[in-house]
Amino acid sequence: MKRDITDRDHALFEAGIKLGALYHQFVGTPLNLETLEGLEKTIEKSISLQPYLRKINVSINRDMVRDKLGRSGYCELEGKMLEVHAEIVYGSARAKVGLRYDKELDYPLMYIEEISKMG
Amino acid sequence: MKRDITDRDHALFEAGIKLGALYHQFVGTPLNLETLEGLEKTIEKSISLQPYLRKINVSINRDMVRDKLGRSGYCELEGKMLEVHAEIVYGSARAKVGLRYDKELDYPLMYIEEISKMG
Amino acid sequence: MKRDITDRDHALFEAGIKLGALYHQFVGTPLNLETLEGLEKTIEKSISLQPYLRKINVSINRDMVRDKLGRSGYCELEGKMLEVHAEIVYGSARAKVGLRYDKELDYPLMYIEEISKMG
Amino acid sequence: MKRDITDRDHALFEAGIKLGALYHQFVGTPLNLETLEGLEKTIEKSISLQPYLRKINVSINRDMVRDKLGRSGYCELEGKMLEVHAEIVYGSARAKVGLRYDKELDYPLMYIEEISKMG
């Protein structure tokens, strides 16, 4: 059975793991506009340690954070604030995946952007 | 580009998301041998709500929990205590994936068990 | 120094720990109206394992969950959905504390309800 | 009843909240020796946003991280790796609290270091 599993399969599986992990590890973290950038970098560096991750870019939506600050002066990271682009390479396969807020569905959507053969 | 992405690709991507989410949402939860089974069920039901998940089985290693109880009478869920089997169906593709502790690597390993065409 | 720290001090400190832990462990968990009650029980049992906790009641706001379900049929646990009442006993001191959504502040408020001497 | 609750009570309650939150938000985060310091700062800054926190210092035990790296080259933040010192000020009361690994109990212990009147 195992021999039927391709590099492409693994690349997509690993890509999914990274997005699921990122989301559920960091949602809930207190932040404001001053700490936002540092948090983006920490998330990127942390997820970059996981295997097969080649590139990652994490942006937290500044407008949403600003709207949520309220009297307390901070808010918590929500899934819909996240925009992520990640590239996973497994053997000869490269998967580009992302996470973005889908306004129409009001849902933080994880999606496959591209899957290609390297080399 | 998008038309090149197959059901099989999606099934594996979604499967990865579920395992990453499960792991990082629930690791750290206090438990002991009395609450273990309820926690297993709660994890299963919670992750089952996510799209494309067809089946899931979560087992928490009773021996590891027992070893960790100590004087406090409880411990926290660790990744290595988890054994998970999940089945994701996306269109015509079915992915069976798992999470288990790899003793040799001392690492909670997420892996693809099988990927097949339905119907 | 240590001798100046009273049972009352410890009871309140421990009470705060429980609320902070509960909140940041479980926020983000997928749920819907079918799994809501099971999740409430799991949170209660899990936090009950921590030291000095005598009683705990966790309610997740059904109306908020219903409003958030959307097309996906589920949502994620948010801090503002939680109403918690907990009683911590440390030596001769009993602290009753809570967590509830403060609408005016749009903030999940943790508060001391009562602190009393037992016996 | 409410009038019986003192600044000292509030300071200790708030101190507990911060430690519980910190612990359950960040345990599980992937890290290695290169990302460790950035993670310490991110935790400090994030928790500093919460009300009444005056000072916080977070140290992650480098030796424990090194021991856990294994073949994967990274590990996950565990409660026992954390050493935290925090100072909370509420009105006229100042609470110094901490979190450290108690080797004998094999338990990450949260404790009150000092509680004093300001001014």
In percent, how much of chain C has pLDDT > 70? 97
Which chain C residue has the Cα nearest residue A23?
C28
* 10-residue averages of pLDDT along chain C (119 residues): 83 98 98 98 98 98 95 94 98 98 93 92
C10, C21, C114 ranked by CB distance to D24: nearest: C21
Question: Pick from A27, A70, A78: which is nearest to C105 by CB?
Answer: A70
Name every chain D residue with its beta carbon within 8 A of the beta carbon of B105: 70-72
Whole-number Å distance between alpha carbons of B47 and A76: 22
Pick the residue of C26, C44, C46 with the most B CBs within 10 A to test the interface with B by mutation. C46
Q: How large is the greatest C-alpha to C-alpha distance in chain B, in angstroms? A: 57
Q: Which CATH superfamily is domain C2-117 in?
A: 7,8-dihydroneopterin aldolase (MptD) (3.30.1300.20)
pLDDT in tens, D38-49: 999 999 999 999
pLDDT tens-digit series, residues B25-70: 999 999 999 999 999 999 999 999 999 999 999 999 999 999 999 8
CA dihedral (C117, D4, D5, D6) positive or negative: negative
Give residues 4 to 33 of B whose Cβ lies within 8 Å of C. 21, 25, 28-32
Query: Which is it for strands A75-76 and A53-60: parallel, antiparallel or unpaired?
Result: unpaired
Q: Quick one: pLDDT at residue B18?
A: 98
**Helix residue ranges per DSSP H, chain A:** 7-26, 36-48, 62-68
Q: Least CB-CB distance to A38: which of D42, D47, D74?
A: D42
* Contact between A49 and D31 using a beta-carbon 8 Å cutoff: yes
User: Are A83 and A62 a contacting pair, CB within 8 Å?
Assistant: no
**C64 near D CB under 8 A:** no
Q: Which residues of D touch B78 (CB under 8 A)?
A: 78
CA distance A85 to C105: 34
Please list, in sequence order, all residues whose beta carbon lies within 8 angstroms of the beta carbon of residue A102, skipping any fewer than 6 positions away. A108, A109
What sign for the dihedral angle of Cα B107, A78, D97, D53?
positive
Per-residue exposure over C13-52, b if at least 16 CB sit within 10 Å of its own CB, e if not: bbbbbbbbbbbbbbbbbbbbeebbeebbebbbbbbbbbeb
**0.90 surpassed by pTM:** yes
D chain contacts of residue A31, beta-carbon cutoff 8 Å = 46, 49
Element (H, E) at D22: helix D7-26
Residue in this structure with the two tokens 């935290």, named with its chain if needed = D84
Residues making up chain A, counted from first to last: 119
Q: Which chain A residue has the Cα nearest residue D41? A: A38
CA B65, CA B70: separation in Å to the nearest integer? 10
pLDDT digits (tens, 9 = 90+) for A61-119: 999 999 999 889 999 999 999 999 999 999 999 999 999 999 998 899 999 999 999 87
**pLDDT at residue B1, rounded to an integer:** 44
Residue B5 and residue D35: Cα distance in Å, rounded?
Answer: 35
Which CATH homologous superfamily contains domain B2-114?
7,8-dihydroneopterin aldolase (MptD) (3.30.1300.20)
Q: Considering only alpha carbons, which residue of chain D is nearest residue B27? A: D28
User: Beta D82-90 vs C53-60: how paired, if at all?
Assistant: unpaired
Strands C75-76 and C30-31: antiparallel
Which stretches of B27-106 are DSSP H helices? 36-48, 62-68
ipTM of predicted complex: 0.95
Interface check B64 vs A, CB under 8 A:
no
Which of B27, B106, B107 has the CB atom closest to D27's CB atom? Answer: B27
Structure tokens at A19: 């997005």
Q: Helix, strand or coil for residue C19?
A: helix
